[in-house]
């Protein structure tokens, strides 16, 4: 998915590559094209206009118009504005302090409600919860059967009842959950092909009777602006707390993802990425923005980094970092590993569009690595383990021994210390996507 939008955005941004000062007219033309690209990706008209205005405000400043690397600066701005548009941070699902937590899933027929009920149940079951699925489609026996199949697949119970009253159903389902110690109730409501008054009335009553902690609207992302219109209707008629976008694995044009939050004011909380019950993810605005720009999925990149570095070595390093005993001997090991496999360059080649976007690639200078290695090899084991004892006379000896200069020895020690500090910080918190972007020289 995104193919079209990603390509258009990359083309638009590339225009600033290697460019000098940008004129106001050029920027204005560029912004117009940006707006057209968004509209072609089926982004809501108002959202596209607002987004472009936001970017205009940041671009039409001397800082950007006269930036030495306008390509990089513009990419950064578009990325940041995309993250903002998508909602900045993942929005967690509300869990009740007094169980059971109740989630009501709403949406048109075919949007993926029943499937998503199963996915959410599977996700929480893995976390040790005891979910109950509730079939609240009062009209279609087939819908109930489908939920029963999904329940059997996940291994959770399904509550069904023949009634015409949403109130009785809600009451009975909640009682059933309480007496059977279910701490999560997932209600699969009725859908229609289109929103109509009768459906809205039934869902409103169901919601009132259930008092759910989340009213989640399930939207088929591949339907673009239609999905956004449906979202507006549900938000106005019933009130929702969040959105679940399904079928992001299909060739959605991007319009629904980019518009739904701005139009409804409600966050996207989860995304469906396939038909399998494990194809559900928490929605990460920053990752989505990176994907839209073709920067690749930074989190999966991180997983690859971890798999490229020899595992045993990595674990040993981690321990040392955590203990704060990372020293020059470890750095030597790392330098050698980097020289052997060039993991970062190799990694970057995995990312479609990464080099295309011209984010400065990490240059691993073979010669420099060798000199660094030589410097460390000229140190005594004690100096390697405890670099703080390296004074002026030791530095001169090391420089002579390695055929380098005292400046180079100083530089290596400085780099090592900076590295040690960064590692200490990073060992406390897992890398954020922003850290990674910085680490890889992207932003």
Binding site for ligand GDP (CB under 6 A): 107, 109-115, 191, 246-247, 249-250, 272-275, 279
Q: By three-state DSSP, how is residue 129 classified?
A: coil
Residue 9 vs 190, nearer CB to ligand GDP: 190
β-pair partners for 189: 136
Residue 52 vs 105, nearer CB to Mg ion: 105
In whole angstroms, the minimum distance from the beta carbon of 142 to ligand GDP comes to 10
- Tell me how far apart the alpha carbons of residues 117 and 104 are, in angstroms, rounded to a whole number: 9
In whole angstroms, the minimum distance from the beta carbon of 246 to ligand GDP comes to 4
Q: Using CB atoms, what's the residue nearest to Mg ion?
A: 114
Q: Which does 67 bind (CB under 5 to 8 A by kind): Mg ion, ligand GDP, none?
A: none
Nearest CA-CA partner of 230 in 400, 106, 364, 86 = 106
Residue 250 vs 363, nearer CB to ligand GDP: 250
Q: Which does 70 bind (CB under 5 to 8 A by kind): ligand GDP, Mg ion, none?
A: none
- Tell me how far apart the alpha carbons of residues 139 and 433 are, in angstroms, rounded to a whole number: 46
Is the sign of the CA dihedral 397, 398, 401, 407 positive or negative?
negative
Site for Mg ion in 112-171 (CB under 5 A): 113-114, 143
Question: What is the size of the binding site for Mg ion (CB under 5 A)?
Answer: 3
Q: Which does 285 bind (CB under 5 to 8 A by kind): ligand GDP, Mg ion, none?
A: none
> What contacts 10, CB < 8 A, 6 or more positions away?
293, 294, 353, 356, 357
Helix locations, 180-310, DSSP H? 197-210, 225-237, 255-264, 285-292, 298-308
Q: Which does 168 bind (CB under 5 to 8 A by kind): ligand GDP, Mg ion, none?
A: none
Q: Using CB atoms, what's the residue nearest to ligand GDP?
A: 272
In whole angstroms, the minimum distance from the beta carbon of 126 to ligand GDP comes to 18
Nearest CA-CA partner of 12 in 29, 359, 288 = 29
Nearest CA-CA partner of 106 in 249, 257, 227 = 227
Give 94's DSSP letter.
P
Q: Name the one range near Mg ion by CB under 5 A: 110-118, 262-270, 319-327, 431-439.
A: 110-118
3-state secondary structure 57-75: HHHCCHHHHCCCCHHHHHH
Residue 151 vs 387, nearer CB to ligand GDP: 151
In whole angstroms, the minimum distance from the beta carbon of 58 to ligand GDP comes to 34
Residues engaged in binding Mg ion (CB under 5 A)? 113-114, 143
């Amino acid at each position: 998915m995104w193919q079209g939008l990603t390509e258009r955005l990359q083309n638009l941004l590339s225009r600033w590559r290697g460019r000098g000062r940008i004129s106001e007219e050029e920027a204005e033309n560029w912004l117009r094209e940006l707006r057209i690209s968004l509209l072609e990706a089926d982004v809501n008209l108002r959202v596209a206009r607002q987004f472009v205005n936001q970017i205009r405000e940041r671009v039409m400043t001397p800082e950007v118009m006269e930036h030495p690397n306008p390509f990089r600066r513009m990419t950064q701005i578009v990325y940041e504005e995309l993250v903002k548009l998508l909602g900045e941070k993942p929005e967690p699902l509300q869990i009740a302090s007094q169980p059971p937590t109740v989630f009501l899933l709403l949406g048109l027929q075919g949007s993926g409600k029943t499937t998503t009920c199963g996915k959410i149940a599977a996700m929480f079951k893995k976390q040790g919860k005891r979910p109950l699925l509730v079939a609240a489609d009062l009209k279609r026996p087939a819908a109930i059967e489908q939920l029963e199949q999904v329940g059997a697949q996940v291994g959770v119970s399904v509550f069904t009842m023949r009634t015409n009253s949403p109130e009785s159903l809600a009451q009975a389902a909640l009682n059933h959950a309480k007496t059977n110690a279910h701490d999560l109730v997932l209600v699969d409501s009725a859908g229609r092909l289109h929103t109509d008054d009768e459906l809205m009335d039934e869902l409103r009553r169901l919601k009132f009777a259930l008092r759910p902690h989340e009213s989640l609207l399930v939207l088929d992302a591949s339907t673009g602006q239609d999905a956004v219109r449906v979202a507006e209707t549900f938000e106005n008629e019933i009130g929702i707390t969040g959105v679940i976008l399904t079928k992001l694995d299909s060739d959605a044009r991007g319009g629904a993802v980019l518009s739904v939050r701005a139009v409804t004011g409600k966050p996207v909380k989860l995304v469906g990425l396939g038909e399998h019950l494990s194809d559900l993810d928490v929605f990460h605005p920053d990752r989505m923005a990176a994907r839209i720009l073709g920067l690749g999925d930074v989190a999966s990149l991180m997983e690859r980094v971890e798999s490229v570095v020899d595992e045993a070595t990595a674990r040993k390093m981690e321990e040392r970092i955590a203990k704060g005993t990372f020293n020059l001997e470890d750095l030597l090991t790392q330098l050698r590993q980097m020289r052997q496999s060039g993991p970062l360059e190799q990694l970057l080649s995995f990312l479609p569009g990464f080099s295309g976007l011209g984010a400065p690639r990490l240059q691993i200078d073979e010669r420099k690595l060798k000199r660094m290695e030589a410097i460390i090899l000229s140190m005594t084991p004690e100096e390697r383990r405890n670099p703080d004892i390296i004074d002026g006379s030791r530095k001169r000896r090391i420089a002579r021994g390695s055929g380098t200069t005292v400046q180079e020895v100083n530089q290596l020690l400085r780099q090592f210390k900076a590295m040690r500090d960064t590692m200490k910080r990073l060992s406390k918190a897992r890398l954020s996507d922003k850290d990674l972007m910085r680490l890889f020289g992207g932003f």
